[in-house]
Amino acid sequence: MNKISTAVSMVLGTVLFCLTLNGQSLTDKHLSVLKQLSNSPVLKNIADPLPNSTEKVSVLIKGDISKVKNALKGLGGSFKYNAGDIVRADVPLNKLRALKNNPHIERIQYLDNSPKKVLGDSMRVKANIDSIYAGLGELLQGYDGSGVVIGMIDYGIDYDHADFRDSAGNTRIKYFWDTDQAGTPPSGYGYGNECDSTEIAIGTCGATKGSHGTATTGIAAGNGSEDSTYRGVAPGVDIIMIDVASGNLTDACNYIFAMADSLGKPCVINASTSFIPNPPHGVLQGGNIGAHDGRDLESLALVNMLKAKKGRALACAAGNDGSLQPFHVGYAVEADSSFTWFRRNPNGVFGMGLFFELWADTNNFKNVQFAVGMDKVSGGYSYRGSAPYHSVTDNLNVTKTDSIKSKSGSFLAVVNTWMEIIDDKYFMQVYAANAAIDSTAYHFRWMTKGSGSFDVWSYDTLSGYVLEVSELVPSTEIPSSGTFPEIVRYMAPDVNKSILPGFQGSPDVLSVGVYFASAPNSGDLGPLSSRGYNLFGDVKPDVCAPGGNIMTPKVGGGYTSQGGYTSYSSPIVAGITALYLDKYPTASYKDINHAIRMSATEDGFTGTTPNTSWGYGKVDGYRALTMFAPTLTPSATATTICNSDSTTLSTTGSTNYWWAISSAPNDTIALNMSKNVAPSVNSTYILTGVDTNGFSKKDSINITVNALPIVIATASEDTICWGDSLWLYASGATMYWWDDEAWDSIGVSDTLVVMPDSSTVYYLSGKDANGCWNFDTLWIVVNPLPSVMGWASEDTICWGESTTLYASGADWYWWDDAAWDSIGIGDTLVVWPDSSTVYYLSGQDSNGCWNDDTVWVTVLATPVVTNWASEDTICGGDSTILYVSGDASIYWWDDAAWDSLGMGDSIIVWPDSSTIYYITSVGANGCVDVDSIWIKVYPILNLSVTASRSSICPGDSSLAIDSISLSATGGDSYVWTNAGGDTLGTSGSIKVLPDTTTTYYVAAWDSNSCEEWDMVTITVRARPTLAISLSDDDFCQGQSINILFASDAVWFMLFDPNWNYMNGTFFPYMVVTPDSSMRYYIIAAYVDSCYTLDSIDVTVKPSPIVDLGKDTVCTTCAGIVLDAGNAGSIYSWSTGATTQTVTVGDTGKYTVTVTGANGCASYDEINVNYPTGIGDCCDANNGKIIVYPNPYTNRTKINYELTKNGDIEITVFDILGNKIHTLVNEYQSIGTYFYDFSATELGYASGVYILRMSINEQTVSVTRLMESGK
């Protein structure tokens, strides 16, 4: 289980409880909440109702506010407000699980809006209230709560009761929010009905007039208008009432504090209803579910509201479970096992015969071992057996299922335990189904051993539990040790820690128990008052108040007596808190809680406090407001001082302090426990002290101030030069002390001789007869001697050099040589010493002060050196070594441009041309000598090598490339070699033809014997690979095949047997259609022109020769015989015939396919025309024309045969010789042609027409009659 799911599962128990607290049944909506938020194994078998319900439920969410808002927005939820890091929101039921699983959500707690259970003259006397009204004792005035708001969370109020109106008859109830009434809800909440004071005053509110809320509000705030005897604790407060029949505590408190802020007043809230957290956890019973630690989200949200602003507090009823049968067990676990009995519950919901929940601090349970056993309690007592012991280690986040067996091995029951961590607590459920329990004559035994502690709350006799639990067996029902010896280790249940388990257990909230205010039992604890402490040992209840047997207002007017319930004691403490806020409106809730707890009293009823019944004791209102008033003891380090002196005012007995002076008592001069003051006249200082509870007290102290003497210091001279002395004089006092600027004493008389080294100040202290001191200062200016400084531009020079002498620091200068002979005046002087010498400088400034300095100049000798070269005449590109020797220690070499070449007594150089080199020699003393050397350089040969070809393909010599010519120029003689050093020639050119890539070297010399060499590389490129194949080796004449290339070449060329170029391609194949068998040549080439040549022979099977002849027109014959030839072949005619010849007698196209014996086939076709009707046939030298029928109607046909190629024109003329249409006009080849045309479409009229055919300028004419409409 992760942290989130663990935290949100804490809602379960209280949800179930709150829904059944007043006998209500569990609704589907709330059970759905449980299923979606719970990891409890107990609920796993409960049906999940309303799984897709979009109805919204109220929740509290802990987490980053912005992330929570985003999550709500994405799930259709609505943000209401936030208290610190806790968000109040409404979320659709079917989105709860998704919200629970959001990684940014730390905890979720469900808020139940079902009805809550209420918990609720001598009272004021017992609580010491009247002394506050009267302003007695240490109170400087009376307080009644004016300026404070009290918020009552209860069940309605009789807003017409006189006790809730002021003296003018105006209602003191500023707002009334009835959460169970339909109407206008307050902004941002969305339920209930809100009334303001105006609606209450005019009678239009209509909210519930609950008797319980009327009583509790009267106790806290009633003004006794009907009977002052029954006046409440804080009669001057403004009232805000929340009827929480259908609301929740978080919304109620947020609303009250917001409304109080809008009124600009501090606020205390009283909650006398049984708000139970939803939850800490669990699925248990009644008002005592959960961890009882006050750390649930609702409690934390309320604390965040208290922390948000000073002037806020919260009081609540501690609960009324003090007289119940003992239902709590908790003890310190010991090494020897202890046990407690639980009764089997035969009526447990969901068939649970055993069910209880356990809570423990993680530090207090980690070393505890636990087990469940069974004891026979019917017909005598005997231990029957137990399940194995477990611990946190093996039970955390898992369900342990164990069988309980007797010592003889008989089955008794199956028990389950589930454990998880919730925040800093362990939570455990222990349960066993009735169906798995062997007998009803047993008690279950809860056994522990080890070290640590825990708490269990379990009680089954209240009606309306959601899940019936097992009742603890009290000490009154256990056997004696004589009957059952093991009973000596029995840990009996008690009524401790019965304080309500929600916010009532928070250390930041005042939880109030009840005692009786009047007889009978006056002063004694109410038996119903719930006991403490909480789970972590925080004192609860905080205090008890006299809420038993008191008179309270009742609905309809008048008063009634109330019994001993904590709901009537809580308003007393809330009222006292209102009085406290009236006196201290900015007090924090911690201040208020501390004052009320620490001011509580002890008596014979309470015994020593704090304890689990009374908390810190009986509440005492007056002591709460006064017991911590500070005791002030103002003092001063000196009460008589001199003017301008200071004294430190101090005090003890308080926490916060305000110091003021009597001349301006309202102006604070300090807020500290002590204050240093320096009054110039006699003064009185007023001290106000406030302790941690806000109590204050005033006191004063007087300071006397004496005047100071007038002390004067003078000097014989106020400006001197360094080394001079002067007199100091003092007057105006009776005793004197002189101090230098470091405050070191230098004399104690009225005169003093001093000789300061520099400008300085002297301090004179004088004291008069009153012991008062005063001071004066005297400034003496000491002009320093001029800082004369002489130096040389070069203080060490070589013989023959000059140096410049410089002076600074004065205004005038005099120079002398080593013999003190004057050599010049001024701040600069150039000198040429022959040897090392000293120069003296004297300088005077504008103050007339002198100072001196000396300048020493050292004169050094220069070195003597000799230089030469290993070769002073060289060829271009050669090197020579330059040498130098002598008594120098360092040598620098420079070229003709004075660019540095290096250091040392020798250097290798490669001059490009004749040049000069400079040698700078430095002696050990740093003196320099410069010399030079000349090197003559013959020019470089400028050798150039070329090749007629830089690369060839392998075997190029077989393709008419005899050789490659290598040529060299720029020298007078040459030697050619290969990489192996073999001499290949000695002339300016040679011929080579390498088989592989080869580098050739040439060396050349000129007439000066200067040498140079170069090289040239001839690359022999690779030829491509080539393998040729055919896509098919068996094909016929006229078919196409693919010649396939397997090659790394990029270009392929195809040649016929005669080397005629046929085609080129980048693809690895070519398509050919050979007429006969032949050889093809293929060249495969790289991009660099290297190629590979290969060939392939193609064998072509001949196809039969089929010739049906020319297209034929037959006008007189009865039929035409068509002969396909190729006897012995297979024939396929378009007529269906399979013979070599066929006879045809109809006009049409005839085709035949002939397949020879080798499987090759040929095809031919012929057009045969049998004209219909009577036609004419005319011959010409070049052809024949036939026109039919004659006469014709709308269509006519023309057949003509050409025996030569030529220009053909067929034209139509009318009887008058007018050309009306051209049918054909083009060049045509030898053959037979047909022309069919429509005279009607050409628009011919009936009559005689002439068709003229021109063939190669020979004309044939035919006359025809056209009868229109035939």
Residue 127 CB-density burial (10 A; 0-12 exposed, 13-18 middle, 19+ buried): buried
Question: Are 830 and 807 within 8 A, CB to CB?
Answer: no
Query: In the chain, what are the helix, strand and coil shares in percent, each to the nearest 5?
Result: 15, 40, 45
pLDDT tens-digit map of 1065-1084: 988 989 998 988 899 999 99
Q: Are residues 165 and 198 in the same domain?
A: yes
- Average pLDDT score over residue span 664-682: 84
- The confidence score (pLDDT) of residue 1183 equals 62
Q: Are residues 267 and 151 in the same domain?
A: yes
Is residue 17 a part of any domain in this protein?
A: no
Kindly state the percentage of the chain with pLDDT values over 70: 86
Is residue 1257 a part of any domain in this protein?
A: yes
Closest CA to 648 of 657, 661, 639: 639
Closest CA to 573 of 927, 262, 316: 316
- The confidence score (pLDDT) of residue 285 equals 33
CATH number of the domain bearing residue 588:
3.40.50.200
Least confidently predicted of 467-476, 685-694, 754-763, 1099-1108? 685-694
Judged against a pLDDT cut of 50, whether residue 277 lies above it is answered with no
pLDDT tens-digit map of 386-424: 999 999 999 999 999 999 998 888 899 999 999 999 878
Preceding amide of 501 cis, omega within 30: no
What residues are paired with 404 via a beta bridge?
Answer: 413
Question: Are 17 and 457 within 8 A, CB to CB?
Answer: no
Neighbours of 1080 (CB within 10 A): 20
Total domains present in the chain: 10
Q: Are residues 600 and 477 in the same domain?
A: no
CATH number of the domain bearing residue 428:
2.60.120.1290
CATH number of the domain bearing residue 1224:
2.60.40.1930
Single residue among 938, 955, 982 that ends a domain in this structure = 938
- The confidence score (pLDDT) of residue 210 equals 80
Is residue 273 a part of any domain in this protein?
A: yes
Q: Are residues 145 and 244 in the same domain?
A: yes
| Residue scoring higher pLDDT (479 or 353) | 479
Least confidently predicted of 348-357, 779-788, 856-865? 348-357
Question: Are 1235 and 1224 within 8 A, CB to CB?
Answer: yes
List, as one string, the DSSP characters of 1071-1139: EE--SS-EEEEEEEE-TTS-EEEEEEEE--BPPPP----S-EE-SS-S-EEEE---TTSEEEETTS--S
CA pair distance 1069, 1059, nearest whole angstrom: 19
pLDDT tens-digit map of 900-949: 999 999 999 999 899 999 999 998 888 888 999 999 999 888 889 999 88
Show the tokens assigned to 606.
């309470």
Q: Are residues 422 and 525 in the same domain?
A: no
Closest CA to 10 of 357, 459, 398: 357
Q: Are residues 223 and 184 in the same domain?
A: yes
Question: Are 285 and 353 within 8 A, CB to CB?
Answer: no
CATH number of the domain bearing residue 880:
2.60.40.10
Is residue 693 a part of any domain in this protein?
A: yes
Q: Are residues 311 and 170 in the same domain?
A: yes
Is residue 282 a part of any domain in this protein?
A: no
Q: Are residues 336 and 310 in the same domain?
A: no
CATH number of the domain bearing residue 50:
3.30.70.80
- Average pLDDT score over residue span 587-605: 93
| pLDDT-derived band at 1208, boundaries 50, 70, 90 | confident
Q: Tell me which DSSP letter residue 273 carries.
A: B
Is residue 539 a part of any domain in this protein?
A: yes
- Average pLDDT score over residue span 1161-1185: 66
- Average pLDDT score over residue span 496-516: 89
pLDDT tens-digit map of 210-222: 888 888 999 999 9
- The confidence score (pLDDT) of residue 18 equals 30
Sheet strands side by side (includes 86-92): 78-83, 86-92, 56-63, 105-111
Which runs of consecutive H residues, i.e. helices, occur in 51-129? Answer: 65-75, 96-100, 122-126
H or E stretch at 622: helix 621-626
Q: Are residues 162 and 230 in the same domain?
A: yes
| Residue scoring higher pLDDT (1253 or 650) | 650
Question: Are 1036 and 1159 within 8 A, CB to CB?
Answer: yes
- The confidence score (pLDDT) of residue 950 equals 85
Is residue 495 a part of any domain in this protein?
A: no
| pLDDT-derived band at 522, boundaries 50, 70, 90 | confident
| pLDDT-derived band at 16, boundaries 50, 70, 90 | very low
| pLDDT-derived band at 21, boundaries 50, 70, 90 | very low
Judged against a pLDDT cut of 50, whether residue 15 lies above it is answered with no
Question: Are 971 and 1005 within 8 A, CB to CB?
Answer: yes
Judged against a pLDDT cut of 90, whether residue 1225 lies above it is answered with no
pLDDT tens-digit map of 804-840: 999 999 999 999 999 999 999 999 999 999 899 999 9
What residues are paired with 328 via a beta bridge?
Answer: 457, 494
- Average pLDDT score over residue span 574-581: 96
Name the residue range of residue 1210's domain.
1183-1266
| Residue scoring higher pLDDT (474 or 29) | 474
CATH number of the domain bearing residue 958:
2.60.40
- Average pLDDT score over residue span 1160-1174: 76
Contacts of 774 (CB under 8 A, 6+ apart): 708, 709, 710, 711, 732, 733, 765, 766, 768
Question: Which residue type is seen at 1000?
Answer: Y
Judged against a pLDDT cut of 50, whether residue 1177 lies above it is answered with no
Single residue among 969, 993, 1020 that ends a domain in this structure = 1020
Q: Are residues 724 and 761 in the same domain?
A: yes
CA pair distance 298, 113, nearest whole angstrom: 13
3-state secondary structure 385-437: EECCCEEHHHHECCEEEEEEECCCCCEEEEEEEEEEEECCEEEEEEEEEHHHE
- Tell me which residue has tokens 């195809």: 1054
Single residue among 840, 860, 880 that ends a domain in this structure = 860
Is residue 1086 a part of any domain in this protein?
A: yes
Least confidently predicted of 589-603, 1164-1178, 1229-1243? 1164-1178
Least confidently predicted of 273-277, 642-646, 1112-1116? 273-277
Arithmetic mean of pLDDT over the chain: 84
Q: Are residues 214 and 312 in the same domain?
A: yes
What residues are paired with 1182 via a beta bridge?
Answer: none
Q: Are residues 333 and 481 in the same domain?
A: yes
| Residue scoring higher pLDDT (752 or 1113) | 752
pLDDT tens-digit map of 1023-1075: 899 999 998 888 898 888 999 999 888 888 999 999 888 898 988 989 998 98
| pLDDT-derived band at 1267, boundaries 50, 70, 90 | low
Kindly state the percentage of the chain with pLDDT values over 90: 44
| pLDDT-derived band at 225, boundaries 50, 70, 90 | confident
- The confidence score (pLDDT) of residue 1205 equals 84
| pLDDT-derived band at 43, boundaries 50, 70, 90 | low
Least confidently predicted of 436-445, 553-562, 936-945, 1077-1086? 553-562
- Average pLDDT score over residue span 152-176: 92
